């Protein structure tokens, strides 16, 4: 469905996947897009967004001249699309995306190699700016939900930034046909282990205050619907028609942590194998990543096994360092499970008694993620697969005896 991307992702470097120095302006020709995106919360809350989209001209994206402009356009059009579809809540989602929105969104998506829907790469990796010279960050665009919306996206961004040194090592492995230069210090000190540990410990004591701004009731009842897609979603079971592009509805998943390039990169580097439906879902989520991110993960997935390399060297220090990396990822996924329970499962179970908010999801998505997965089954599955990757003492001793 996607066209070949014409622009390489500038955000994929040897440091991280976050788009640095995010663009906040477009040529004046596209002013209407930014006007709508910058005022999205007000327009949704006053139910004026759909009417304004219907009055929009069909703009040609050909004046977008570089990667950052294309990413900002994709971000803006993605936010407007989600607002348009879900403005009236789960009772009356839009069935057709008007051509003035669908056509340029499709064209921009083709040029980037991304799908025409708001993705994790949009809301987390490209939706931030510096608020002041001291380094405080803010969102470029937002949905209804106030500080809860800001806290939700910013804390995900901070975790992605914390993963930077691990991404650097992963990218280095991409260009090494064998792990002959892998050293104990890479796993123990300044590379993989702290960068897998760091998102977890960084997330808890430093950015737990961000979660204090995310009210579970607001997240579930107001924000969550706006990151929901139209695949495996009972609110739009047939998908969404993109006017002027297809007469049949198109199925696309909403933004999901499963689309995190960093976490999938760690999975590939640490040889964590997800099987059956879980593995198929994670593989499909790579289609929602920038092409260069996807290529790195796929290259790592077929590279020589780091786990086998460590076992073959019969080093208890290497095994312990490897297990520390895997254990940190297990901890992060366990924390994610607890967070999902607090922000989705509990508020979802309370929704019938409290009365469903006008534009919330109610109980419709209580058991499904915004990407369409069976929520708790999927999350427990990825955590358990991660645990299985740990090198047991028996495996280590067995390899030593074979040497």
335 CB burial (10 A radius; 0-12, 13-18, 19+): middle
Compute the distance between CA of residue 40 and CA of residue 359 in angstroms, rounded to an integer.
14
Query: Which of 332, 329, 181, 173 is closest to 266 using CA atoms?
Result: 329
Annotated ligand binding at 336? The verdict is yes
Angle of CA points 35, 228, 253, to nearest 5°:
105
Distances (CA, A) of 354 to 111, 350, 351: 45, 6, 5
d(CA 401, CA 403) in angstroms, rounded, equals 5
CA 267, 269, 273: angle at the middle one, nearest 5?
45
* Terminal alpha carbon distance of the chain: 50
* Count of C-beta atoms within a 10 Å radius of residue 184: 14
Token pair recorded at residue 366: 């209580």
The DSSP symbol for 2 reads P
Annotated binding site: 336
Annotated binding site for heme b: 336
């Amino acid at each position: 469905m996607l066209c070949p991307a014409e622009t390489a992702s500038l955000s994929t470097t040897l440091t991280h996947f976050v788009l640095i120095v995010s663009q906040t302006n477009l040529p004046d020709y596209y002013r209407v897009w930014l006007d709508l995106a910058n005022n999205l919360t007000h327009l949704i809350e006053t139910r004026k967004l759909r009417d304004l989209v219907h009055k929009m001209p069909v703009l040609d994206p050909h004046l977008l001249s570089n990667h950052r402009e294309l990413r900002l356009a994709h971000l803006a059009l993605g936010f407007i699309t989600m607002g348009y579809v879900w403005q009236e809540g789960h009772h009356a989602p839009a069935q057709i995306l008007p051509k003035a929105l669908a056509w340029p969104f499709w064209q921009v998506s083709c040029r980037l190699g991304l799908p025409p829907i708001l993705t994790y790469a949009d809301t987390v990796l490209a939706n931030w700016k510096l608020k002041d010279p001291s380094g405080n960050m803010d969102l470029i665009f937002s949905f209804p939900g106030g500080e809860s919306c800001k806290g939700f996206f910013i804390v995900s961004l901070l975790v992605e930034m914390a993963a930077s040194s691990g991404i650097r090592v992963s990218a280095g492995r991409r260009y090494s046909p064998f792990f002959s230069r892998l050293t104990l210090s890479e796993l123990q000190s300044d590379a993989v282990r702290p960068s897998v540990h760091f998102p977890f410990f960084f997330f808890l004591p430093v950015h737990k205050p961000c979660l204090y701004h995310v009210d579970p009731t607001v997240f579930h009842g107001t924000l969550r619907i706006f990151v929901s897609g139209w695949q495996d979603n009972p609110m739009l079971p047939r998908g969404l028609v993109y006017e002027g592009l297809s007469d049949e509805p198109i199925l696309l998943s909403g933004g999901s942590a499963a689309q995190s390039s960093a976490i999938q990169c760690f999975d590939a580097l640490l040889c964590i194998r997800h099987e059956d439906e879980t593995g198929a879902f994670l593989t499909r989520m790579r289609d929602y990543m920038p092409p260069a991110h996807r290529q790195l993960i796929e290259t790592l997935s077929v590279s020589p096994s780091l786990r086998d390399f460590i076992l073959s060297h019969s080093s208890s220090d290497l095994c312990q360092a490897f297990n520390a990396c895997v254990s940190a990822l297990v901890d992060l996924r366990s924390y994610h499970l607890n967070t999902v329970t607090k922000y989705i499962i509990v508020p979802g179970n309370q929704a019938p008694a409290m009365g469903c908010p006008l534009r919330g999801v109610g109980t419709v998505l209580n058991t499904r993620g915004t990407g369409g997965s069976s929520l708790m089954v999927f999350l427990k599955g990825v955590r358990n697969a991660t645990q299985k990757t740990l090198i047991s003492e028996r495996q280590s001793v067995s390899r030593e005896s074979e040497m």
